[in-house]
Homo-oligomer: A and B are copies of this chain.
């Protein structure tokens, strides 16, 4: 049995302002789908996993704030492991593994495969993941990693240096995290590959690590004592401490959509949301998650991104890091967040609860109802204030357009 864990709960300042739970990059329908429509990173990666593993139920590892967004994108029957509070990847992977094991009544010989949501890859990536799972099941190593074929001596990735070669895999000599370009050149000459953050291992292997830490490997125990788990990444906590690691090569296209630079290279001239450019605009990527338009005039080599968190205007060639600037922003200045919610005909969507905000809805078009004590019809143009701290649900009879206004009221 294979447990597939899709890590979807991440929030990174490197893609600010698309970096809070609700407006995170993985939910924006930015990418071209096969159908000619647009899909989100979450939808793309989930679709690719299902194509390779049609019989396995993938578990999405995330947090409460994102659960309703995930159900809205993948359907209500999707399997979700929700962290009780935000934690690092070690805790999230352990919890999701225990969740999947309980749900599927698995055993210690089952294989776990962990896939991050922000890899932009070809379908053959998932064939490589199947090979990883098979090798983990055969226990050729305690952990099996994917080694992506490097396209440059980049300083932004972790490298995996191979040791002995075997049929379909190599063992791993050691890891080198974000080397200098010179060291990266030397690593490439030795056949090193990029670590894409995909892991395969057995349930029993992870269980033994948890038990060595004096804890119990069960979903209910881990959920209740979640805050006690160490705040550490899975790489640091497990992978880099393990001596028997194997690597499966992947030679296809791979792009980590974790920075504006990589995201804009995939989007190219296409953008997202409302914007207009004059004909002189060159190589400017616009991602607009606001309800107001962006106008670009004569700009070159820019990324322009807007959400209710803020507005980024960045030169694509800049080496300046975004994180320290964003950290200087006062946390409490974003007092109002607005977004337009569209519920397709016949569908249902959740409105997450927030205790820190007053949440107001104004139905603008279509028809539908809202779950308060029971389902009550929505009246166009009539403002509704949602009960504080209580999740609610919208149902559309005809495609429903609403404006949601969240006003922060606690300091």
Contact = CB atoms under 8 A, between A and B. Distances in A.
Contact of A294 (B293, B296, B308, B311): B311
A189 interface: no
A193 to B, nearest CB: 31
A409 B385 contact: no
A313 B335 contact: no
A320 B385 contact: no
A292 interface: yes
Nearest to A337: B292
Q: How large is the interface on A (under 10, 10 to 19, 20 to 34, 35 or more residues)?
A: 35 or more
Contacts of A320: 278-280, 297-298
A39 B329 CA distance: 25
Contacts of A309: 292
Contacts of A294: 310-313
A405 B408 CA distance: 13
Contacts of A16: 295
A295 B328 CA distance: 10
A239 interface: no
Given A335-B340, A338-B338, A297 B317 contact: no
A299 B311 contact: no
Contacts of A296: 313-314
A312 B293 CA distance: 9
Contacts of A362: 358, 407, 409
Given A292-B308, A308-B292, A362-B358, A336 B403 contact: yes
Contacts of A326: 295
A161 interface: no
A333 interface: yes
Interface string A278-322: 111000000010111111111110101010111111110111101
A334 interface: yes
A362 B313 CA distance: 30
A409 B383 CA distance: 10
A298 B336 CA distance: 28
Interface in A359-405: 360, 362, 364, 380-381, 383, 385, 403, 405
Contact of A297 (B290, B293, B306, B318): B318
A318 B409 contact: no
A300 B293 CA distance: 22
Contacts of A304: 311, 313
A325 interface: yes
A225 interface: no
A265 interface: no
A209 interface: no
Nearest to A340: B335
A276 interface: yes
The 9 A-B residue pairs whose C-beta atoms are closest, nearest first, are A298-B318, A298-B315, A297-B314, A381-B409, A278-B320, A293-B310, A294-B311, A292-B310, A336-B338
